[in-house]
Amino acid sequence: MLLGLECGGTRTVAIAAAEDFTLLQRIESGPCNLRLVSDAELRKQFSDIAAQIADVAAVGVGMAGVRDPQDIARVRGILATVWPGCPSEVDHDLESALSAANLADDAPTHAKVILLSGTGSCCYGREPSGRTAKVGGWGHQLGDRGSAYDIVHKALRAAAHHLDHTGQWCDFGQRALAATLLNAPNDLIAWMQGASKSEVAALAPQVFAAAEAGDRVARGTLADTEAALAEDALACARKLGKKPTDFVFAGSVVLKQQEFARRIARRIRKSRPGSRVHPLARESAWGAVVMAQRALSNAPASPTAVPSKPAIPAPKTDFPIPASREMSPTERRNPASVRLDRMPVNAAIDLMLAEDERLPAILRSHRPALARLIREVSRALGSGGRLFYAGAGTSGRLGVLDASECPPTFRTPPEWVQGIMAGGFRALHSAVEGAEDDANAGAAAIENRGLNKQDVLIGIAASGRTPFVWGALHAAKARGAFTALLCFNPYLAKLKGGPPDLLLAIDTGPEILTGSTRLKAGTATKLVLNIVTTLSMVRLGKVVGNLMVDLNPSNVKLRDRAIRIVCELTGAERSAAQAALEANAWVLKPAIVSLGRKS
């Protein structure tokens, strides 16, 4: 039996079908947007369905909120606990809608664009060659133009505006109060602050009812929405080229509000004559059944060969990553610590400190490369460029740490030194499975930060082979930025051609705890970053002697330090130094100039 799950912001639909697509069972349950549910809630949703449907051979899931390989791995991992041994295919709900649209079209000759408007909204298309395009899908805080949530939010804003200007509470406003059991327009403020996305979206029928009754506020809202949805669908089609396009409407808003859908269709045909515009013939959950069929077709012949837990999707590696026959020293066992678990604590402390004591001499042998890197960074920062760090795990966190310390220490704008972390913000405090293996994500991060020929990128990777970092290096090099790689794998020292422009392949040897590069490699990384940014700032005039004259005194401790620096450099009394700083908004350099440097 094939099981297709269509999980949206309003409801979940489960369809159990035979392999010839004969319907065997259909179940509806509550909303299930991946961005809005915990793992426990998702597991319960699946378990409740599993309790009602037996003998599942494969599962397909189209789920709102699925955006990347990490999301897919998360859902598949939970599927494996509910349906052990079942092959599965997981993707966003637009993919399942498109699969449903293609169900009766085995060899599509036209590009197809799904215009989805339900609780959320998005446009997603594919041409026969397989190329895809997407417009929207930003979620209700940033996008979801034309969704039920967006319609209600706009209509409520328009109703409030109308009340302010005319003193009249419109028909839609009255219907909204009745539907929410509220008594006054002001009550909607607190309600909106606490309402969920689906609760807000549930008021959309009231907008349509008010518009049909002649409410100008509701009609204006829907006219704007029609234009927005048509515009997004056409933009998605343009991304797929000028070939004939089938536009397929999906989602409760455009499927239930037929006159509204017809007006959108007219706009599309007017801008793209010859296009076919029609509603989705079979509900999107059937597309998830198609996905289940694909999963079953791709499964190993022997059931015992199906992994009990699905693997993380294969990393995207569109960029060459260096290979070495030799294992990085950071992955080898340190002979001095093979009895670490049995060593007395004092001896273990001595061993760890002794290993760290070797680092300065090792780094000193790389002075020429460090000096060149400092010159490149100071050149970039002094001429309008920026310094970026890219890394994963400990390496990425150390880059973010160094970047975050520059504004308070040197009063630099936050954009001067930036950290790029594989897996993003969440990876700063917890591991994001598979993030470091996605080279394309590293490249995309560089594109999204807009690196150019004025900038410097330092990739940080203990092993020297992290795909995310190499994707970032290749993309930065293609955009003309100066690139450097800081790693602790000396076997990469013979690397020829391509990025990086500068390679710091430092041999710190095996770690005390085998493979734990947060230890010596992490300490050495911190030392290198300290050297690079500090001496670059010195070259930019942000230090006099050994005093930070561009300090940003943002707290009591730093203001006390600022006063002492001004006193030291001018010979002024403490009270005069503080007065000068206060007169210059606590900026040290003009305060020092106003008092005069002592000779």
What domains lie within the chain, and their CATH numbers? 2-104+284-305 (3.30.420.40), 111-279 (3.30.420.40), 335-539 (3.40.50.10490), 544-595 (1.10.8.1080)
Which DSSP string corresponds to 248-266? EEESHHHHH-HHHHHHHHH
Q: What is the pLDDT of residue 218?
A: 95
Question: Does position 501 have pLDDT exceeding 70, yes or no?
Answer: yes
Question: Does position 92 have pLDDT exceeding 90, yes or no?
Answer: no
Does residue 415 have an active-site annotation?
Answer: no
Helix pair 520-539, 345-357: axis angle to 10 deg: 40
Higher-pLDDT residue of 573 and 300 is 573
Q: Quick check: pTM over 0.85?
A: no
Between the alpha carbon of residue 589 and those of residues 424, 571, 577, the distances in Å are 36, 15, 12
Residue 70: which pLDDT band, with cuts at 50, 70 and 90?
confident
Q: What does the pLDDT look like over 4-33, one tens digit per residue?
A: 998 887 789 999 888 888 888 898 888 888
Secondary structure (3-state) at 196: coil
Q: Of the residues 331, 405, 433, 568, which is catalytic? A: 405
**101-110, 203-212, 236-245, 543-552: which range is least confident on average?**
101-110
> Is residue 395 a contact partner of residue 423, using CB atoms and an 8 Å limit?
no
Q: What is the pLDDT of residue 307?
A: 36
Question: Does position 377 have pLDDT exceeding 80, yes or no?
Answer: yes
Q: What is the pLDDT of residue 159?
A: 96
Question: Does position 322 have pLDDT exceeding 60, yes or no?
Answer: yes
| Share above pLDDT 90 across residues of the chain, in percent, rounded to a whole number | 53
Q: What does the pLDDT look like over 148-167, one tens digit per residue?
A: 999 999 999 999 999 999 99
Secondary structure (3-state) at 247: strand
Q: What is the pLDDT of residue 105?
A: 63
Question: Does position 433 have pLDDT exceeding 90, yes or no?
Answer: no
**211-220, 411-420, 490-499: which range is least confident on average?**
490-499
Q: What is the pLDDT of residue 132?
A: 87
Residue 143: which pLDDT band, with cuts at 50, 70 and 90?
confident
**74-78, 135-139, 564-568: which range is least confident on average?**
135-139
> Is residue 105 a contact partner of residue 205, using CB atoms and an 8 Å limit?
no
Question: Does position 254 have pLDDT exceeding 50, yes or no?
Answer: yes
Q: What is the pLDDT of residue 393?
A: 92
Does residue 127 have an active-site annotation?
Answer: no
Q: Of the residues 95, 355, 376, 436, which is catalytic? A: 436
Question: Does position 554 have pLDDT exceeding 90, yes or no?
Answer: no
Higher-pLDDT residue of 385 and 69 is 385
Residue 142: which pLDDT band, with cuts at 50, 70 and 90?
confident
> Is residue 34 a contact partner of residue 66, using CB atoms and an 8 Å limit?
yes
Which residue's structure tokens are 């230890």? 519
